[in-house]
Amino acid sequence: MVKTEFKDLRAVFINCTLTKSPAKSHTELLIEASQQIMKKHGVQTKLIRAVDHDIASGVYPDMTKKGWDKDAWPELFKDIAKADILVLAGPIWLGDNSSEMKKVIERLYASSGELNEKGQWLYYGKVGGCLITGNEDGIKHCAMNILYSLQHIGYTIPPQADAGWIGEVGPGASYGDKLEDGKRAGLDNDFTNRNTTFMTWNLMHMAKLLKDNGGIPGEGNLRQAWDNGNHFDFENPEYRS
């Protein structure tokens, strides 16, 4: 079997934990499992812990132009914009994504109206996935929200683009915590390990396919072409057949 080369790919992982560094993040342990696979196969990776930065709330690319004194997002976004792969990762709280996750998605949305070199929306040709941790139900609910948001703004979502781990419902060990028998919670969970591996490889494969083929074709999805009148005449019966 011919091995795929991934050395021309870049990936950014954003950890949307509520825990500031240097305290440990359970979500970051699961991120590392995916990140190590990518690194092993030549992908350049970067990890951002969102809560460590003064990211302003809002839906504009630079919130200092909207009354905020500080906004770390424009500088962080430089790496995100260069990345072929974006993985959003975070914990479940009250059955939903964290406030940091919501903030990051809103800031990604802020640039979704910008265009790439083809004239498509900025995130066309990039792929997205997500990782979720916690000790309450909600992995699929959180993943649905994240993956829908990413595809809505232009990211391509490959098959099996989410993975996660939850312990027993209620108070208890979080991912990676040391248990009474000396083991660490979740690290030997076959379901989580399998899904994390599949997600990581599918992200790399999809990103490579897009990059090698020039991204998403521009036919039928260019903003300027639409604005210039090059679009379907929905009142013409020919377009309904």
Tell me the CATH number at 120. Answer: 3.40.50.360
pLDDT of residue 107: 98
- The answer as to whether 4 is a domain residue is no
Q: Is 2 inside a domain boundary?
A: no
Q: How confident is the model at residue 172 (pLDDT cuts 50, 70, 90)?
A: confident
Arithmetic mean of pLDDT, 14-23: 97
Cis ω on the peptide bond leading into residue 61 (within 30° of 0)? no
Domain-located, residue 1: no
Judge whether 5 lies within some domain. no
Q: Which residues of the chain form beta strands (DSSP E)?
A: 10-15, 44-49, 85-93, 96-97, 127-134, 162-166
The domain tally of the chain equals: 1
Owning domain of residue 226: 10-240
Q: Is residue 71 part of a domain?
A: yes
Residue 109 domain-assigned?
Answer: yes
Mean pLDDT estimate for the chain: 91
Cα separation, 193 vs 199, in Å, equals: 10
Average pLDDT over residues 201-217: 96
The pTM for the full model equals 0.90
Domain annotation covers residue 186: yes
Tell me: pLDDT of 240 over 60: no
Residue 170 lies in a domain: yes
